[in-house]
Amino acid sequence: MANISVQNLTTSILSTEVGSLLPGETKSVPMGPLQAYRAADSLKAMQDAGKIQVTVTEESSKLDAMELGPTVVSQIDVTIPTAAVLTLNATPVQIVPAPGAGFCVIFEGAVLSMKYNSIAYNGVAAGEDLVFSYTNGAGVKVALVESTGFVDQTTNQMRYARPYGALITTDSSMIPTAGAALMLSNLSGEWATGNSDLKVRCFFRIVPATLG
């Protein structure tokens, strides 16, 4: 569980995240970690304007790593419409929102599903693969999915993306980017045509950037 705490610094406000707040009032609402970070993200504009102060605290961050266990793995479903699929190189799509300062998203795998509509994606060149990465398409990469034989097919397709570490036999470590969202992009170009939505189910953990 997590708590989102909102302190009103100016006049009375009303938000869908915490309800109404009088000037100087602070309200704390318990919710799941992902929901808390999403709520904080939706309140960012008011915080940037100096109207409120938002704080997210996550109970699991206080636990020893041995106590966390597998139940901390979360999942999120994202549907990427055709128009966005065709511009994934120029405009990566957010899969997991940024967790906030002091925390990292750890990619644990993802299922990608394409329910074929009527036009296969074409113009799929070598290297134009789907990649999960932090921040944007140029961020630290955590997984890659070969596009040839996947999005260019005229039948329903599914792929499971494993973390990079599962494919490496020498050094299986990677450096997570603290406070960064997890994005999906096209590694090196755009596909020409196609009209099938891409559905992504991503499995992840939110962990402290520093243990101690």
Tens of each residue's pLDDT in the chain, 212 residues: 667 788 888 888 777 777 787 888 888 888 776 677 677 777 777 777 777 887 766 554 433 333 343 346 888 899 999 999 999 999 999 999 988 788 899 999 999 999 999 999 998 998 899 999 999 888 999 999 999 999 999 999 999 998 875 444 556 678 899 999 999 999 988 999 999 999 999 999 888 888 76
* pTM given for the model: 0.66
- Shared domain for 55 and 110, answered yes or no, is no
Q: What is the spatial distance between Cα 26 and Cα 46, in angstroms, rounded to a whole number?
A: 15
Q: What is the rounded CA–CA span in Å between residue 162 and residue 71?
A: 19
Q: What is the DSSP letter of 18?
A: T
The CA radius of gyration of the chain, in Å to the nearest whole number, is: 19
**Hey, what amino acid is at 91?**
T
Q: Are residues 48 and 114 in the same domain?
A: no
Looking at 19, 40, 62, the residue that finishes a domain is: 62
Verify that 57 and 73 share a domain, yes or no: no
Are residues 181 and 199 located together in one domain of the fold?
A: yes
Same-domain status, 165 and 83:
yes
Q: What is the CATH number of the domain that holds 73?
A: 2.60.120
The predicted pLDDT at position 2 comes to 66
In this predicted structure, what is the pLDDT of residue 69?
Answer: 39
Report the C-alpha gap between 175 and 116 in whole angstroms.
Answer: 36
- Taken as a whole, the chain contains a residue count of 212
Examine the domain organization and report whether 58 and 71 are in the same domain. no
Q: Say what the pLDDT of residue 71 is.
A: 40
CATH number of the domain where residue 8 is located: 3.40.5
Count of structural domains within the chain: 2
Strand-by-strand arrangement of the 2-8 sheet? 26-31, 2-8, 52-58
pLDDT at site 61:
40
Same-domain status, 40 and 76: no
Place of tokens 């997984």: 143
From 11, 34, 62, the end of a domain falls on 62
**Are residues 139 and 107 part of one domain?**
yes
Position 33 scores a pLDDT of 66
Residue 23 lies in domain: 2-62
Amino acid at 125: A
114 and 82 housed in the same domain: yes
Judging by DSSP bridges, how do beta strands 13-15 and 19-21 pair with one another?
antiparallel
